[in-house]
Chain A
């Protein structure tokens, strides 16, 4: 029974257990492959290119194989052969040109799971190999054009101060020449596989109401858009539903469109439902990964450490097709100058095509790569100046009123200094830094820090164009139902949204429901990406809940009774009581897309991560022994979940720095399995000491929450590298820091 407003106990700020916790601990939560088989269901499989580039001459189906119960789909069967996203360069199935290994060419389906795998082996592809481009440096030379006319998928230029002129290169060079101290360096980072533990999968079918797909996915409306394009169906005849999803981290942002299109194509041709579930190897090989990046930085500062000017060039490897690369590159460019104030800046960012599987969304979305570079560089500047790196960062950090590289004046919710000082204090950074600088034995210890910020929500005017929507419905008995396309992929959206609604409408948490995200029943809230779910969609949900709650209470005041009785009267009278609202971003946001200038994000979340390591100087094994962090989240709606995001993200970053490495040989992945692509285990994970800082953002829900999903991925790698560098005294400018690579660097005698 719902209670009136007077009895409501706030839930925001409380670590209530996950709403989906019980089904997940008792094993009844149904992930896509747990859904019962539909009548007549077939299993789908994909035949992929074994080579990174070539011309498909023919497809041969072994005449000795019995094809009678196998459904075959090739490019000819695809109504409109393009995957709708930003550009239309990627085919659903390759017809002639093959641009990366594992590119899909033939789809097969059969009721018998084993027979479909045998059928795969009975298909042979005749491909004439073409010369390949496998890294950004080759791609930039454009000896072989593999994308567009010059291999450049996207370019951004950000200029500030004296560099803000026609000839920005000469201008920034002139500024740098005047600086007392100049430091330059280059920093590289590598691919990373999302490695959600549930592989990608979907079930698709057609019936009289159109086409259906249910899958493990982050953004049902992306899949909807892809179906709209490829099948040319009416929007209302496309029904995309999210199944319980076993992690995404960006990996299930854009890729699910492809697997869903494939399953739906097989289903259309066979007239049967089709289930397509990747095994781990196929998932690692074929789906998107983090963009590798190569950054060159030259900076100038005063002798006392005041930073003056930065010139930076970022090269990101987009892979064979555009996918979301322009947006990833944008976020990378906008975070490239770090959490510091520069009077003069020139940042050029380029995405280049290569004949490798398309790189795409992965937690952090381009920012971890450029933050890796700038943090390593600032540490290098400190070494040149003979200053403590954290002290140098403290001296130059952006504060209230500071101006970023894009000219954004920070006038709200800035907590860089506070995070830095908190992390420094809890980690006893100064004491440890000094202690570990003494001569060490076989086991060398080190400590290092990264300071950074992460823009929450879409870049610039993104939210204004997107017009995200969400709804709250009144249900009988005074219950409320949240309807949004924001998916819970493990990060806890369902729980946090319920808390927001419970407080906004002043109803008990147990009276709030969360509708399964299905494109037919929920409004398009925009994608579940960019740390926008809580801050942006959460604020729409909050306003909608407040509106519905107020209407019921008005009815209660007018005619009495409990909240539940008033709700029932209202529903009886009006039939439907719903608040469907659209997001309107804070009005101060001004963004010039052409010159890449203005308010890049409505606000930033801030953090300082500090890692302590032990390095065995004979085996070069690195152990992270402690990990401290202070993170400004605006307002923690569910503090334990918030810390969980930070710890989980930080461990992914530690994995990226120390263990995770895709080994490539001429465009082919040599280690596409969990046996040889190594992610951190419980033993590799350090004890986390996680401090939350709350510097509210007045437009955020629950009293000022900011986006927090991606930020934890940004600072882990540079903090760990700084600690390893401190322990070994060898520069750590290139990821990953595997023992083999550390050994090679140490053997080459490099010294800081």
Chain B
């Protein structure tokens, strides 16, 4: 089995993986990072979204081997020094979640949007989040949370 070395949530990881292992399987099953969720098997739902080298990626669309040498951040690694990431804080405060299953992916995608575009319009938020499906909220409070985070109003 080939070995891969990568950084996951700022920790160096070296592991042997079967070549067909998906990144999402590697994160969940080898590293127990179960905040990375699986909601589909066709790359639709976005619940599995993580950062790979600073870019949000659906981890079910990528092989673990492709992440060799990369820096991966999952929802578990987003909070820094015991403090919620501003996007996590915004989702919590603005009721951007109900069942919470889509939330890890939503938060990562949204954080990525603000990295690229710190002051998006409502339309841009909706367009960016098109690849993350939420069945509970009607998206209203998710969009509100992202906009509030952009405005820095999330305390």
Inter-chain CA distance A651–B126, complex, in Å, is 15
Using C-beta atoms within 8 Å of the partner chain, give the interface range for chain A.
Answer: 35 or more
Interface residues in B90-142 by Cβ distance below 8 A to A read: 91-93, 95, 97-104, 107, 125-127, 129-142
Q: Is A104 an interface residue (CB 8 A)?
A: no
Max chain B Cβ within 10 angstroms of own Cβ: one of A29, A245, A246, A652: A246
Return chain A residues, CB-CB under 8 Å to B28: 34
- Chain B 76-90 interface mask (CB, 8 Å, partner A; 1/0): 101100001000110
Given contacts A197-B45, A247-B136, A682-B129, contact A28 B103 (CB under 8 A): no
A280-B97 in contact (CB<8A): no
Complex formed: what's the CA distance from A683 to B91 in Å?
19
Q: Which of A24, A492, A647, A674 contacts B133 (CB 8 A)?
A: A674
Q: How large is the interface on B (under 10, 10 to 19, 20 to 34, 35 or more residues)?
A: 35 or more
Given contacts A27-B74, A198-B99, contact A674 B40 (CB under 8 A): yes
| CB-defined contacts of B37 to chain A, threshold 8 Å | 31, 197-198, 246
Asked whether A647 lies within 8 Å of B137 as measured between CB atoms, the reply is yes
From residue 23 to 67 of chain B, which have CB atoms closer than 8 A to chain A? Answer: 28, 32-42, 44-45, 47
CB distance from B151 to the nearest CB of A (A): 18
Which residue from A28, A652, A682 sits with its C-beta under 8 Å from B142? A682
Q: Which residue of B lies closest to A35 (CB)?
A: B34
Binary per-residue interface labels of chain A (185-209) against chain B in the complex, 1 for a CB within 8 Å, 0 otherwise: 0000000001111110000000000
With the chains together, A244 CA to B79 CA distance in Å? 21
With A644-B137, A648-B138: A197-B39 Cβ-Cβ less than 8 Å: yes
Say yes or no: A650-B101 contact (C-beta < 8 A), given A197-B133, A682-B143.
Answer: no
Q: Which of B33, B92, B100, B131 has the most CB of A within 10 A?
A: B100
A524 at the interface (CB under 8 A from B): no
Q: Which residue of A is nearest B134, CB measured?
A: A197
B93–A491 contact, CB under 8 A? no
What is the CA–CA distance of A279 and B25 in the complex, to the nearest angstrom?
A: 14
Contact A647 B92 (CB under 8 A): no
Question: Which residues of chain B are near A20, meaning CB under 8 Å?
Answer: 100
In the complex, the answer to whether B34 meets A679 with C-beta atoms within 8 Å is no
Shortest Cβ distance from residue B146 to the other chain A in the assembled complex, whole angstroms: 10
A7 at interface (Cβ–Cβ under 8 A)? no
A residues adjacent to B (C-beta < 8 A): 15, 17-18, 20-22, 24-31, 33-34, 36, 194-199, 244-247, 249, 279-281, 489-492, 640-641, 643-644, 647-652, 673-675, 679, 681-683, 685, 687-688, 690
**Contacts A/B (CB < 8 Å), 19 sampled:** A17-B92, A17-B95, A21-B97, A26-B76, A26-B88, A28-B35, A31-B101, A194-B135, A196-B101, A197-B136, A246-B37, A247-B98, A281-B41, A644-B98, A644-B138, A648-B138, A674-B133, A682-B125, A682-B126
Apart from A644-B141, A675-B42, what are 7 other A-B pairs with CB-CB below 8 Å?
A22-B92, A29-B35, A34-B28, A197-B101, A246-B99, A644-B98, A648-B135
5 tightest A-B CB contacts, nearest first: A27-B35, A490-B99, A246-B101, A24-B100, A647-B138
